[in-house]
Structure 1
Amino acid sequence: MRNNTAPRHDPYAVLRLPEFRLYISARLCITLAMQIQAVIVGWQIYDLTKDAFSLGLIGLAEAIPSIVVSLYAGYLADMVPRKKIIVTVITVLLLCSAALWLFTLDTNAVIEHYGVLPIYGVIFVSGIARGFMGPAVFSFMPQLVTGKQLYANAITWSSTTWQAASLVGPAIGGLVYGFYGITAAYATDGVLVLLSLVAFALIGAKPLPENINPQNLTESLRTGIKFVFGNQIILHAISLDMFAVLFGGAVALLPIFASDILLIGPQGLGFLRAAPAVGSVIMAVWMAYHPITVKAGKIMLWCVAGFGVSLILFGLSTNFWFSLVLLVLSGAFDSISVIIRSTLIHTLTPEYMKGRVSSVNSIFVGSSNEIGAFRAGSMAKLLGAVPAVVFGGVMTLLVVGVTAFKADKLRALHMTPDLEPGH
């Protein structure tokens, strides 16, 4: 008798690939570094200025250069070997970490002469670097796996790694800053960036996918944008996440909640920053064993709605433990949405176009983190931190309602193997 049993799902399939293990190790280190740096910079600037608007400016200083270079970065990722871009960009980030560390060796003199402007300047440069890194890393990852059937598994573990670093990074940043000082915290950040650079350097160079329709810069960018706006599923999935992130900028205001509302100091801030990642890691690991296929679109919509509700309740909470639980839930909901969206983009986008499509995704979603931070900081300056967070949650629910009404193909989406690039 023939065995008609379906192939058993292997949750560790991509982890058996040596280069993919190097990739997620590098991703772990660079994300840890970014999270540690975000906690240090946020607390440092708020400690120096006591100004919510100054916290919002951190996000704006990073978002503007990232958005400006993003489309060209996507084009470059489809024209230049992606590993070369990644190594160059991480070298720039290493120099940025070194600059922030150097500022702390004579902090009073730097503040006396320039205020917080040097910190914003370094964040601006790192925003340029991250604008180039996003499309290159996004399009490099599929070149390390053995087929499209492993995309969802690779994205799940990549997301798990990112979320795990987001969980540990803020706690490390807050604890090192709180117990050993700012110089030691920035030094930790720099060492992790260096380790990421080494891990990426150890991955073998990969040739660019064959481009069946070579184009100049203008035509190439137009093709990438047209592809995204011509695919209703990708467009609505990206738009949904963009507005959720744009209005869900509670993370930028966590220094205010830690300092003035929950009264828990920099150590507590680290745990608040880590809390969403706790939920994300738990959910991502669960999805590695139980990938979502049926009703993926509807599940994505419900999860973004859950994210919005979590934000509203967090904004109203004055209890540290309840706030922590709500942030954990927000991370769990967000993780599902991110994995579904990323799998869709990787699956539906031709290999030779992934850099450009990723750059559009970066403008929509990636930079909306920083713009959302600016939105939250500006509103907190005018209305207070609590109304700013609650408003963001309410607007997220409104966006979900509009998307659920308009996006019929997303509502009906099932993550089936017959999804083909360009369709």
Structure 2
Amino acid sequence: MTLPADRHPLRYRDFRAYLGGRLCAVLAQYAMMIVLGWQAYNIARDTMSPSAAAAQLGLIGLAQFAPLFFLTPVTGWVADHFDRRMITRLTLALMMAASGLLGFATYEGWVSLPLIIFVAMLVGIARAFNGPAYGALAPNLVPRAVLPRAIAISSVAWQLGMIIGPALGGYAFAIEPWGAYALAALLYTVALASMMMIGPVPQSARDTSRHPVRQMIDGFAYVRGNRLVLATITLDLFAVLLAGATALLPIYARDILHVGSRGLGHLAAAPGIGAGITALWFSFRPMRSEVGLKMLGAVILFGLATIAFGLTAFAPTDIAMEIALGSLIVLGFADMVSVYVRQSLIQLHTPDAMRGRVSSLSQLTISASNELGEAESGFLAALVGPVVAVIGGGIGAIVITLIWARLFPELRLARSFDLPDIRAADISQEKAT
């Protein structure tokens, strides 16, 4: 049965279930992420110097990134060869158990830094398999013609999770530390129930004629050969890897702005506010022109907002928090523009049989820019201080964007999300000059 292409994505039952599950999963994920960092930093600060405690934030990020780095070739192949619904269900169950374990340990009073790092690694393993399956599943639930709008709506759910999740985690932790993890476990349970509601979905036939290792390598080869996909993935990787300001929010909340766990919730939610408003706008008014240039401009704005946030350390005390929140809101707006363009280009320019493997590589770069960026920011903050780390990261993101604009003319010449949007003659001319 052919689905009508002019319907709104929310008209499709399976997509609604997917959306609800995604929202709850992201709420739980970001609530846990902010609490993991806050709890680890506070435990470390009780016995360590500020620089050593900052390094613990780096270890938390590294613990989440390492599984993604080593498992990416496998997770993409798994998402392309097995039921993507079942993969998401199993991984959600694992994350539910991990948050429950940490909540119980906190309640009983035997939580420790090694346990937090272990749980962070466990969550990293679950996310390594969950991300490619989740990302590759969405295009199977709606017609191709409405996929950009579906991506925007899915991004709204994601950004709402980013807005509300850290705030929920920070406020719940301020009331009762174990309650933040219990809340995350409950949200993962609801996400799992939502994913159970999705019926069978079409998926490309498995390729059994070639060795699995060769098929895993195919994912890397496809991304390398498609310069537009390669440009969008790697730009996010290097720009956000350098400008990992959000990783240092616990330090800013406790030692620079002096706003405590409630203030941390506000700071952590601020990027999501800007991003959520932007994603909501795109769900009604999808971007249609000069998508490549707009992505490049957004990443430059992301770097400028990061610099502004770093400079709040020198702002007058009575307005420092307001400047920090404003900078983070602008940062979230810019990040959402970049995310929207990147995800739309990747999904629309990748055949379904490859989506799992390409999504796994996209997730690896996103995680590298987030979790590895947290590690880089934490270790750099331990060496040169958090303020220099944040400001230097923002400058680095701007420099990387200017370099990428020159190295990948395909990105600057991407006019729309349509497949024939980049003219070979234009690219040849750009390279010749």
TM category (shorter chain) comes to over 0.9
Q: 1:214 to 1:415 in 2, by over 3 A?
A: farther
Aligned to 2:43: 48
Count residues with an aligned counterpart. 405
- Read off the aligned partner of 1:100 and give its amino acid letter: L
Cα displacement (A) at 1:33 = 0.6
Q: 1:98 to 1:212 in 2, by over 3 A?
A: closer
**Distance between the aligned counterparts of 1:205 and 1:95, measured in 2?**
26
**Distance between the aligned counterparts of 2:262 and 2:184, measured in 1?**
17
Aligned to 1:5: none
- Read off the aligned partner of 1:74 and give its amino acid letter: G
Aligned to 1:285: 280
The 5-angstrom pairing of residues 11-410 of structure 1 reads 13-50=8-45, 51-107=53-109, 110=110, 115-145=112-142, 147-178=143-174, 180-211=175-206, 214-318=209-313, 319-410=320-411
Unaligned runs of 5+ in 2: 46-52, 314-319, 425-433
> What SS does the aligned partner of 1:317 have?
helix
> What SS does the aligned partner of 2:199 have?
coil
> Is residue 66–residue 129 contact of structure 1 (8 Å, CA) maintained in 2?
no
Cα displacement (A) at 1:38 = 1.3
Listed one character per residue, the Cα deviations across residues 107-153 of structure 1 (whole Å, up to 9, x for unaligned) are 1xx25xxx4101111111111110001110011111111x2111101
TM-score (norm 2): 0.91
Listed one character per residue, the Cα deviations across residues 348-384 of structure 1 (whole Å, up to 9, x for unaligned) are 1000110011111122223321000000000100111
- Read off the aligned partner of 1:238 and give its amino acid letter: I
- Read off the aligned partner of 2:346 and give its amino acid letter: I
> Is residue 80–residue 208 contact of structure 1 (8 Å, CA) maintained in 2?
no
**Distance between the aligned counterparts of 1:142 and 1:306, measured in 2?**
30
**Distance between the aligned counterparts of 1:417 and 1:377, measured in 2?**
40
TM-score (norm 1): 0.93
Cα displacement (A) at 1:211 = 4.8
> What SS does the aligned partner of 1:414 have?
coil
**Distance between the aligned counterparts of 1:401 and 1:414, measured in 2?**
18
**Distance between the aligned counterparts of 1:120 and 1:250, measured in 2?**
21
- Read off the aligned partner of 1:338 and give its amino acid letter: V
Listed one character per residue, the Cα deviations across residues 145-196 of structure 1 (whole Å, up to 9, x for unaligned) are 1x21111011100011000111011111111111x21111111111111110
**Distance between the aligned counterparts of 1:413 and 1:214, measured in 2?**
35
> Is residue 348–residue 419 contact of structure 1 (8 Å, CA) maintained in 2?
no
**Distance between the aligned counterparts of 2:200 and 2:177, measured in 1?**
37
Aligned to 1:6: none
**Distance between the aligned counterparts of 2:338 and 2:325, measured in 1?**
21
> What SS does the aligned partner of 2:286 have?
coil
> Is residue 159–residue 273 contact of structure 2 (8 Å, CA) maintained in 1?
yes
Cα displacement (A) at 1:214 = 4.3
Cα displacement (A) at 1:209 = 1.4
> Is residue 304–residue 396 contact of structure 1 (8 Å, CA) maintained in 2?
yes
Cα displacement (A) at 1:19 = 1.1
Unaligned runs of 5+ in 1: 1-8
**Distance between the aligned counterparts of 1:207 and 1:160, measured in 2?**
25
Aligned to 2:317: none
Aligned to 1:3: none
**Distance between the aligned counterparts of 1:283 and 1:209, measured in 2?**
33
- Read off the aligned partner of 2:25 and give its amino acid letter: I
Aligned to 1:414: 415
Cα displacement (A) at 1:417 = 3.3
> Is residue 277–residue 328 contact of structure 1 (8 Å, CA) maintained in 2?
yes
> Is residue 39–residue 173 contact of structure 1 (8 Å, CA) maintained in 2?
yes
Cα displacement (A) at 1:289 = 2.2
